[in-house]
Chains A and B, each alone.
With several copies, the nearest count.
Chain A
């Protein structure tokens, strides 16, 4: 993150992503421009993140509570959420 502006971002985890990471959410300081870059930062941080994000095909993302793509820009979003494919209904 050298040279880039960082800012506070709320992260949320659900279902087995929450269980693997060990918490339902946290606030991080990040300069990641996209969700994918954010995931890379998290993976490098600790083993439990690397494990939770080991298969990205099994991970879904919401940016400010709207479903989004892994390559979505984070922009001025306040909250990014990670979870497995949904099983409503």
Chain B
């Protein structure tokens, strides 16, 4: 039930602890964290551009859709923007439910939508220069499995 878009890093453990604090109705808590990868040590800069006026609204829409589809006791989306270093956290989602299947499915649904429907663009700079990360065709395809179930 919360969406945050911010430049600063977040504390994954503290966020997950807060989600279940004082509650006894959650049986399953799933989290996903996206991190800046730099396999070969050649990443000079990583920058996330976004569309501020649209971002929070898009994320809230995605979250509301997940909550309409699965019985969630709690959910959280945090997405950063700006310049990030290799290994840093880019974003997280968390979903809490009575049973594991709902928590897992809702988290995957949120991620699939975030990948292709949240207004963020990644730019990587290596010694060869800067380039905008291409959208992956698999990411667009991943959305289809949720369409079928509507």
A–B direct contact (CB < 8 Å): yes
Residues of A in contact with B, size category:
10 to 19
Interface of B: prevailing SS: mixed
Interface residues of A (CB under 8 A from B): 12, 14-16, 18, 62, 65-67, 79, 81, 83-89
* Residue in chain A with minimal CB distance to B135: A85
Sample (12) of A-B pairs whose CB atoms are under 8 Å apart: A15-B49, A15-B132, A18-B49, A65-B53, A65-B54, A65-B57, A65-B58, A85-B140, A87-B115, A88-B79, A89-B111, A89-B115
Q: Is B20 an interface residue (CB 8 A)?
A: no
Contacts of B120 in A (CB 8 A): 86-89
Complex contact B54–A62 (CB within 8 A)? yes
Interface size of B as a range:
20 to 34
Contact A89 B51 (CB under 8 A): no
Q: Which residues of B contact A67 (CB under 8 A)?
A: 58, 117
Considering the complex, which residues of chain B in the window 62-85 have a beta carbon less than 8 Å from any beta carbon of chain A? 79
